[in-house]
Structure 1
Amino acid sequence: MKTLDNPGRLFDVLAQRNSPTTLCLSRPLDIAPDSGTAYSVRQLAELTEQAAGWLAAAGAGPGERVAVVKPNHWDFVLLTLAAARLGAVAAPISAHLAPDTVATMLKRLEPAVLVTTADVVRSGAEAGVDLTSFARRTVSIDRPTPGAVPLADLRGHPAPPPAKRDDDQPLVIIHTSGTTGVPKLVPHSTTTIIRRLAGFEAHRWPVLASRPEDSVASAISFAHGRALAWTASVFWLAPREVTAVCDPTPERAEAFLRAHPPTILETLPSTYVRWQSLASTPDSVFSRVRLYISTFDAMHPPTVRAFLAATRRKRPVWLQGWGQSETGPLTFRFLTRAAMARQGQRHPTTRDVGWPVPTRTRLRAIDPVTFRPVPRGTPGLIMARTKGLGLGYVGEEERWWAKSRGTSWWNTGDIGVITRSGGLRLVDREVDTIPESSCLEMEDVIDDRLPWVLECIVLGAPGRSPLPVIVTANGTADMDAAAWRSAVADLPPLAEPIVMAWEELPRTATGKVRRHQLRELLLDGAGHHGTGQWT
Structure 2
Amino acid sequence: MKPRDMGTLFDECAARRSHTTVVLDRPFDIAPERGTTFTVPQLADLVEEAAGWLHAAGAREGERVAVVKRNHYDYDLLACAAIRLGAVPALLSGHLADDALELLLKRLEPAVLVTDRPMAAHHARRVLSLSHGDGHGDGHRNGYGDRDGGGRLVLDDVRGSRAPSPWLRHDDDPLVINHTSGTTGLPKLVVHTTSTLASRLARFESTRVPVIGTRRDDVVANASSYAHGRTFCWTASVFGLEPRKIVILSEPGSARNVLGVHRPTTVEALPSTYVRWQQLAASSHNPFRSVRLYVSSYDAMHPPAVRAMLNASKRKHPLWMQGWGQTETGPLTFRFLTRKAARRETTARFLGRPVPGRTRLRVVDPATFEDVPRGTPGLVLARTKARCAGYVGEQDRWQAKNSGPWWNTGDLAVRTRTGGVRLLDREVDAVPGFSCLEVEDVVEDRLPEVLECVVLGPAGRLPIPVLVTADGRLDHERWWAVAAGLPDLGLPRVLKWDEVPRTGTGKVRRLELLTRLVGNAETHGTGRWT
Displacement of 1:70: 0.5
Give the aligned partner of residue 62 of structure 1: 61
* Residues 1:382 and 2:384 are matched in the alignment: no
* Residues 1:226 and 2:226 are matched in the alignment: no
**Alignment partner of 1:461: what SS?**
coil
Give the aligned partner of residue 132 of structure 1: 121
8 Å Cα contact 2:347/2:441 also seen in 1: no
Give the aligned partner of residue 237 of structure 1: 241
Give the aligned partner of residue 186 of structure 2: 182
8 Å Cα contact 1:66/1:89 also seen in 2: yes
Which of 192, 196, 210 is residue 196 of structure 2 equivalent to? 192
Looking at structure 1, the residues matched to 519 and 82 of structure 2 have their Cα atoms a distance apart, in angstroms, of: 44
Instruction: Render the CA deviation track for 1:19-70: whole Å, top value 9, x for unaligned.
Output: 1001110000000010011111111111111111111111111111000011
Looking at structure 1, the residues matched to 78 and 459 of structure 2 have their Cα atoms a distance apart, in angstroms, of: 46
Looking at structure 2, the residues matched to 426 and 258 of structure 1 have their Cα atoms a distance apart, in angstroms, of: 36
Amino acid at match of 2:494: V
Looking at structure 2, the residues matched to 272 and 437 of structure 1 have their Cα atoms a distance apart, in angstroms, of: 27
Looking at structure 1, the residues matched to 450 and 126 of structure 2 have their Cα atoms a distance apart, in angstroms, of: 47
Give the aligned partner of residue 265 of structure 1: 267
Displacement of 1:350: 2.2
**Alignment partner of 2:526: what SS?**
coil
8 Å Cα contact 1:30/1:142 also seen in 2: no
Q: Mapping of 1:93-132 within 5 angstroms?
A: 93-117=92-116, 120-121=117-118, 124=119, 131-132=120-121
**Alignment partner of 1:15: what SS?**
helix
Looking at structure 1, the residues matched to 215 and 283 of structure 2 have their Cα atoms a distance apart, in angstroms, of: 27
8 Å Cα contact 1:340/1:349 also seen in 2: no
Which of 402, 405, 410 is residue 408 of structure 1 equivalent to? 405
Displacement of 1:145: 3.8
Give the aligned partner of residue 290 of structure 1: 292
Displacement of 1:488: 2.2
* Residues 1:357 and 2:355 are matched in the alignment: yes
**CA-atom RMSD in angstroms:** 1.2
* Residues 1:492 and 2:487 are matched in the alignment: yes
Looking at structure 2, the residues matched to 132 and 512 of structure 1 have their Cα atoms a distance apart, in angstroms, of: 27
**TM score, norm. by length of structure 2:** 0.95
8 Å Cα contact 1:92/1:174 also seen in 2: yes
**Alignment partner of 2:462: what SS?**
strand
Which of 147, 167, 170 is residue 171 of structure 2 equivalent to? 167
Looking at structure 1, the residues matched to 216 and 2 of structure 2 have their Cα atoms a distance apart, in angstroms, of: 21
Which of 449, 452, 458 is residue 452 of structure 1 equivalent to? 449
Amino acid at match of 2:130: I
Amino acid at match of 1:459: L
Looking at structure 2, the residues matched to 283 and 274 of structure 1 have their Cα atoms a distance apart, in angstroms, of: 15
**Alignment partner of 2:480: what SS?**
helix
Instruction: Render the CA deviation track for 1:316-372: whole Å, top value 9, x for unaligned.
Output: 0001110001011100000111111137xxxx2321000011101000011111111
Instruction: Render the CA deviation track for 1:121-143: whole Å, top value 9, x for unaligned.
Output: 1xx2xxxxxx3232221011233
* Residues 1:514 and 2:514 are matched in the alignment: no
8 Å Cα contact 1:58/1:154 also seen in 2: yes
Instruction: Render the CA deviation track for 1:374-422: whole Å, top value 9, x for unaligned.
Output: 11110100000011111110001111111114x1100000000111111
Displacement of 1:152: 0.8
**Alignment partner of 1:29: what SS?**
coil
Give the aligned partner of residue 443 of structure 1: 440
Looking at structure 2, the residues matched to 486 and 342 of structure 1 have their Cα atoms a distance apart, in angstroms, of: 22
**Alignment partner of 1:434: what SS?**
coil
Which of 202, 206, 211 is residue 206 of structure 2 equivalent to? 202
Displacement of 1:480: 1.6
Displacement of 1:259: 1.3
Looking at structure 2, the residues matched to 210 and 402 of structure 1 have their Cα atoms a distance apart, in angstroms, of: 38
Looking at structure 1, the residues matched to 187 and 463 of structure 2 have their Cα atoms a distance apart, in angstroms, of: 27
**Alignment partner of 1:475: what SS?**
coil
**Alignment partner of 1:186: what SS?**
strand
8 Å Cα contact 2:307/2:339 also seen in 1: yes
Displacement of 1:3: 6.5
**Alignment partner of 2:67: what SS?**
strand
Give the aligned partner of residue 128 of structure 1: none
Looking at structure 1, the residues matched to 460 and 65 of structure 2 have their Cα atoms a distance apart, in angstroms, of: 47
8 Å Cα contact 2:2/2:206 also seen in 1: no
* Residues 1:468 and 2:465 are matched in the alignment: yes
Give the aligned partner of residue 50 of structure 1: 49
Give the aligned partner of residue 144 of structure 2: none
* Residues 1:13 and 2:6 are matched in the alignment: no
8 Å Cα contact 2:319/2:338 also seen in 1: yes
Displacement of 1:520: 0.4
Give the aligned partner of residue 78 of structure 1: 77
8 Å Cα contact 1:25/1:243 also seen in 2: yes
Amino acid at match of 1:341: R
* 5+ long unaligned stretches in structure 2: 137-148
* Residues 1:501 and 2:496 are matched in the alignment: yes
Displacement of 1:283: 4.5
8 Å Cα contact 1:427/1:440 also seen in 2: yes
Instruction: Render the CA deviation track for 1:473-519: whole Å, top value 9, x for unaligned.
Output: 0012xx12222122222211111111111110000000000000011
Looking at structure 2, the residues matched to 266 and 526 of structure 1 have their Cα atoms a distance apart, in angstroms, of: 33
Give the fraction of aligned pairs with identical amino acids, expressed as a percent.
58
Looking at structure 2, the residues matched to 334 and 305 of structure 1 have their Cα atoms a distance apart, in angstroms, of: 13
Displacement of 1:527: 2.2
